[in-house]
Structures are given as C-alpha cells and as structure tokens.
Chain A
Amino acid sequence: MTVPELKIQDLHVSVEGKSIVKGFDLDIKGGEIHALMGPNGTGKSTVASAIMGHPKYEVTAGSVSLDGENLLDMAVDERARAGMFLAMQYPSEVSGVTNADFLRTAINGRRGEGNEIPLMKFIKTLDKKMDLLEMDQAFAERYVNEGFSGGEKKRNEILQLMMLEPKFAILDEIDSGLDIDALKWVAKGVNSMRSENFGCLIITHYQRLLNYIKPDKVHVMMNGHIVKTGGPELALRLEEEGYDGMKAELGIKDDEPVEA
C-alpha cells in the first residue's frame, strides 16, 4: 500500500470577498505530523475549513489533492469519504441524535451499502476508544455535543477521529480551552493514530500540545501563507520569543488582522 499524500499548492481563499489565505503550500505524507502555528487572524483556520469544503470559504486559486485526486472538486462528504477529517474548533450540536448513532451512520456511510460494520464490532471498538480517552460510557448515548463542556466537545472530536480512521486529519485548535488532563487525553488519542497510513496537521497557538504530540515539522503562518518551516525546536523558540521576534527577523509587517 502506498503512503497517502496530501498536497496543497498555492492555495488562495476568500471569505465574503475578502482574501485571507494567499499562496499557501504544504505537503504532508502518511506517518507525518505537522504543526501549523501563527498569531490570531493569519488564516490558519481558514486553510482548514477550505480544505474540508465549508461553503463560506471560497477557493480562488491553487489546488488541494489527496493521493493525486483533486479534493476541491468534491462535495464535503466526498472529501470525508476520500479520507479527510477536520476536528473543529466549534463542533455543532445535534439534538436528538446520540453519539453512537451518529458515529455508526458516519462509519457505514464510508463503508458503503452491504458492507456495514457489525453492531457488536462497532460497540466493542467504541468502548475501547472511549476507554483510551477516559470518556464515560454514557457519552455514547448522549446527544451529539449537546450540553457538552468545551473539553468534552474536543474529546468527542478525537473520538470521532479514532472511530473514522481517516487518512488525514486537521485538528483546528483542538487544545483551546483544555485543561492539562484533557490535553493529555487528546494527545493520547492522536498518538494512538500514528501510522504510515495517517497524516495529521495540528493547528495551534501554543507549543504546549506539542509537548505531548511530537510534530515532525512546524510551520509558522503569517499574513495568509507559511513564512517559516522547521522542526520541533521552532515551536519552542516561538514560545520563548513570541511571534513579534520572528516578524522582526523575517521583516514582516502586520496585515490588517482578519477573522481566523
């Protein structure tokens, strides 16, 4: 089996006519974990939403391909079934639908008719993954994200990631609002996914999460594109010097800040 590859080339994205991402390039292969860092309003989350296909985000130029297939031609659900996953910053609530039902429908949607996951196998897998994330069994029967705390929602995103087993995941500020314990569970979940068949892009402001999930590469994004790429040490340096130090070094002036 060949190692999956996500290729983003010269991506430009606008939201409501306003250009936010301006020439974003990134190449991730299975087995790799990349971190995307940068100050607020530089377009990190916009990259994530555009790759997944949120209707509000308009790709004006560039390409995104998964194993050579053009993702941008696909509907949101087709991208998901092709192997993309986005752990969202603000996951939606779906009243009246249990987590378990939702997950089973999503898994079966990927597997296709006639190839549905046997119920017992589903339950066993779900139990196992929830144990690993130290989630109470009751979560399976709670309505999707309804009444969940911020941390519970994030853990639920990771649970979905683990159940759906995509080729690539983008974790959009999965660490925001998490206490140290929740951070560890999230990291544990992501680390359990590590394999040649899985690549991951972690979007974060802080290097804290990267203590638990060691990235292969760290990218710094400013003004709509990547301005610097390095190893894990780059995240540590940012933690010490802040983004202002790097801006000075690279001679970058602030764009007008935009919505992340």
Chain B
Amino acid sequence: MATQQQVPEIDEYKYGFREKDVSVFRTKRGLTEDIVREISKKKDEPEWMLEYRLKGLRHFYKRPMPQWGADLSALKFDDLTYYVKPVQNQGRTWDEVPGEIKDTFDKLGIPEAERKYLAGVSAQYESEVVYHSMKKDLEKEGIIFLDTDTALKKHEKLFREYFGKVISYADNKFSALNAACWSGGSFVYVPKGVVCKTPLQAYFRINSESMGQFERTLIVVDEGASVHYVEGCTAPVYSSSSLHSGIVEIYVRKDAYCRYTTIQNWANNVYNLVTQRAICEDHATMEWVDGNIGSCITMKYPSVILKGEGARGNTLTIAIGGKGQNQDTGSKMVHLAPNTSSTIISKSIAKNGGNVTYRGKVHFSPKAVNSRSHIECDTLIMDDKSTSDTIPYNEVLNKDISLEHEAKVSKVSEEQLFYLMSRGLTEQEATEMIVMGFIEPFTKELPMEYAVEMNRLIKYNMEGSIG
C-alpha cells in the first residue's frame, strides 16, 4: 500500500494522514530492562548513558503516577512501543530522505519553510532524526545544532556536562520514563557572546501506532549568547493512544538570552506529558512561548529557575481545549536570587465541552529580595458545556518582593457577535475574529510562518465550534 491506509477516526484532524510504516527496527510493546539495553546498544552509546537510562527505568517503576492534575488512568504503559527507528542512517540532505517520509514532511510544508526561513532544520520523524541541515554561517559561528543522539557521539564531554543537570531523572515519573528510553530531540550549543540571528527550528512528528515518543532536547546558551529555538508538532491520528513525553532542558548562562517557542498540535488521542525547565544565571533571560492546541491530555508547565541575580523569566502560554480534551498547563517561576523578575501570561480557550486549567507556581526564596512576578490568566469560554480552572500557587519566603496576579474569565458575548455581524461578518468569521484577537498577544510573538500556521490551525480549530 502506498499512502493513506484508513480514514482517520477523528475526521476533523487535518494532519491525520498516515504514511506506510517504513521502520527498519522497532522494539516490542511494553518497557523492560532488556528493551532499554537494546535501545542503548542500537544507538551505540557510552556506558554512562546506559547506566543513566537504567537509573531512570528503576525510578520509573518505583514512582507512582502523579495524583494531581489531569486524569491519566487510561494511559497503559504496557501497550506502547518505546523505540522505533525509521531508517538505517540519518539523511544528510533532503535528497537522501526516503520518499514516503518526505511526503509527510511535504504535507507539513517543511521544504517551503526551509527555503524561506530555516537556518537549520532538525525534523524528527518517529524516534530518530532523519533530516538535519545547518547553514554554513551557523557552523562558522561555532553554533552546534544537532539531533541529540549525534550530539552525544560528537560532543560527549560538553553533552555530559549539562545532560540531566536541569531536570533530574528522578524529577517526576515521566522524566524517569524519558531518561530510560529517550531518543532524538535537538541539541543546541551557542558559544560565548554569539548571537544566533535566525531562529533554529525543528519539526516533530509521531507516525507509528501506540508509539511513545520521548525526545530529549538540551540547549546551552553560553555567557552573553542569544538564541531562539522553535519547535512545532503535528501528528497523525491513530485508534489507540500514543504518549509523547519529552524533556527540554535549557541552561542559560550569565547575560545570555534564550527563547523557546513551541506549538503542539498532537492528534486528539495523544497524551502530551512534557517537562520543560530552564536555569538562568546572573542577568540571563529565558522566555517560553508555549502553544497547546492538540492532544487529549496535556500536562505541561514550562519552568524557569532564576538562580542568578537579576535573572528574568517569561512565559507566554496559550491552551485550547475542545471536545474530549483536557489542557492542564501553566508555568513555574522559582526565584532564588535578588532582583529577579518573572512574568507569566496565560491565555486559555475552552470550547465544545473541553477543559482548560491554568496551574502555576511562583516561589520566592529568602534570598530573592527585591524580586517581582506578574501573572495574568485570561480565559475565553465559548459555550456552556466547557469549563476552566485557575490554580495559582504562591510561595513567598521573604517580604521584599512584589507579586501581582490578575485573572479574567470571559465569554464570547452576544453584543460582540452582533457588532461584528452587523458589519457583514458571518457568525463563524466573527467568532474567529474574537478568538484570534484573544490570542493575538501570543501570535505576535511567533516567527512569521508560525504565526500564519497558527492562524490556520485556530481557524480550522474553531470550525463547528459555534452553537
């Protein structure tokens, strides 16, 4: 069979096409020590990485499921495949990428995106990175932008210095799972004082039924350097649940700047349970721009540890929860040093009976004097079936701080719709316009082609949401 095998079950999912499985190697279902050893062996990893994986596995077995947040009881770990390797070797140029994989990328518009904007592409197909290119000028600057597996081989010392330092395998059940069977992801290193002018972009995609995808991204921005990393996800539709449980670790050294932009549009049967965390040294800045549109359940709280004096952390997050979806998202800011500041802006939309929850935490340690945090949570509820919650935690251990929290819940009002429709917009167009306006603070922060894609997704997403 050549291309599409079946009509996707969730028929409104636009990117729900599926290619013929071209994998050359896949592990059995369920996760055992043998499988972890097998993964490590296939990847020809150093001994310390195997040990790390096994430590993660043991912790994963031991650690109970989280008892807070979204309901994960339907997630069956034994039904998943933990490693699928789609091709023997990584494609070095576009021409070398297998045709069927290329078709999938074509449908996602990668070649165009690359021609126009990409400085480097790291597109993840299933568990391995199959296509990876970098422009010469990036290399000239000494910027390393590789898939994580290759980075481990080529830059082991640098890799080991930072790997697992921001998020321990024992951080939570899913960080342990990721530690045990991680595969793929991006590795970025920006040397001292280097400003990476073009955003680095990677596309991620799951294309094998019931396959867990455990990508591992590690970004190190050295002193005074600057980088913007962009990642977007779409996935085809499958009948049984898939799990995406990635880890993103970012180390922002003194005076450095990092922005990490991600839009996830997983199919509506994907569990998206991701741990993202950054550490900021003195006067460093970390910005998370985080969009959650797809998946059945997302639990994701990008965090910044403000470890150095004057460090800054920003999170701008949107979540759209439709039918059968539970978006449990937010952000964590941990102020550990004087004069640190943070901002969290969260925009949530609940429609067609979906649920959106903002869950956030701001911590001020005794040392974090003269620090401040500003939190804004706006929710737009499209109908009476949909729900939202705002759950902010604040831990304030010194008096010399300022903390502002604003929360607002609004409905698309009859008056607004009447106003826009009286100018000739259909109800659909009017609703879209209100929604687009609502998330505009997010969209305007995206690189151009992502903003366009985002608008398309939102439009698509809002279709049929009236009534």
Q: A55-B418, A92-B413, A96-B440 are in contact. Are A77 and B433 (CB under 8 A)?
A: no
A168 to chain B, nearest CB (A): 13
Restricting to B417-444, which residues have a CB under 8 Å from any CB of A?
A: 418-427, 429-430, 433-434, 436-441
Q: How many A-B residue pairs have CB under 8 A?
A: 81
Q: Which of B363-418 contact A (CB under 8 A)?
A: 413-416, 418
How many whole Å from A14's CB to the nearest CB in chain B? 17
Using Cβ atoms and an 8 Å threshold, which residues of chain A touch B439?
96
Q: In the bound complex, do residue B426 and residue A77 qualify as a contact, i.e. CB atoms below 8 Å apart?
A: yes
Complex contact B426–A109 (CB within 8 A)? yes
- Measured between beta carbons, the chain A residues less than 8 angstroms from B430 are 77
Residue A56 CB within 8 A of the other chain: yes
Residues of B within 8 A of A94 (CB): 416, 419-420, 433-434, 437
Q: Judge if A133 is at the interface, Cβ distance under 8 Å.
A: no
Closest chain A CB from B379 CB (angstroms): 14
**List of B residues within 8 angstroms of A96 by Cβ:** 436-441
Per-position binary interface string of chain A over residues 38-62, scored 1 when its CB falls under 8 Å from any chain B CB and 0 otherwise = 0000000000000011111000000
In this complex, the interface size class of chain B, counting residues with CB under 8 Å from chain A, is 20 to 34
Q: How far is the CB of B418 from chain A (nearest CB, A)?
A: 5
Query: In the docked arrangement, what's the CA distance between A220 and B419, Å?
Result: 27
Measured CA separation A102–B422 after assembly (Å): 12
CA distance A88 to B424 in the complex (A): 15
Query: Are B437's CB and A106's CB within 8 A?
Result: no
Residue from A81, A96, A102, A105 having most chain B Cβ neighbours under 10 A: A96
Give the CA-CA distance A90 to B419 in the complex, in Å.
10
Q: A160 contacts the other chain (Cβ, under 8 Å)?
A: yes
Check if A110 is an interface residue, CB within 8 A of chain B: yes
Residues of chain A contacted by B437 (CB below 8 angstroms) = 94-97, 143-144
Q: Distance (Å) between the CB of B128 and the closest chain A CB?
A: 40
Complex contact B427–A77 (CB within 8 A): yes
- Contact count band on A: 20 to 34
- Report Cα–Cα, A39/B434, bound state, in Å: 35
- The answer, among B421, B429, B438, for a CB contact under 8 Å with A75, is B421
Q: Is the CB of A80 within 8 A of B424?
A: yes
Residues of A within 8 A of B420 (CB): 92, 94, 102, 106
**B429 close to A76 (CB less than 8 A):** no
B414–chain A nearest beta-carbon distance, Å: 6
Which of A85, A95, A105, A143 contacts B422 (CB under 8 A)?
Answer: A85
User: Would you list which residues of chain A between 79 and 95 have a CB under 8 Å from chain B?
Assistant: 79-81, 84-86, 88, 90-92, 94-95
List 30 A-B pairs, Cβ < 8 Å. A53-B418, A53-B422, A54-B418, A55-B414, A55-B418, A76-B422, A77-B421, A77-B422, A80-B421, A81-B424, A85-B422, A85-B423, A86-B422, A90-B415, A92-B418, A92-B420, A94-B434, A95-B438, A96-B437, A96-B439, A96-B441, A102-B420, A102-B433, A105-B429, A106-B420, A106-B423, A106-B424, A109-B423, A109-B424, A110-B424
Given contact pairs A95-B438, A96-B437, a sample of 14 additional A-B residue pairs in the complex whose CB atoms are under 8 Å apart = A52-B418, A75-B427, A76-B421, A77-B421, A80-B421, A81-B424, A86-B422, A88-B419, A88-B422, A90-B415, A92-B419, A94-B419, A105-B425, A106-B424
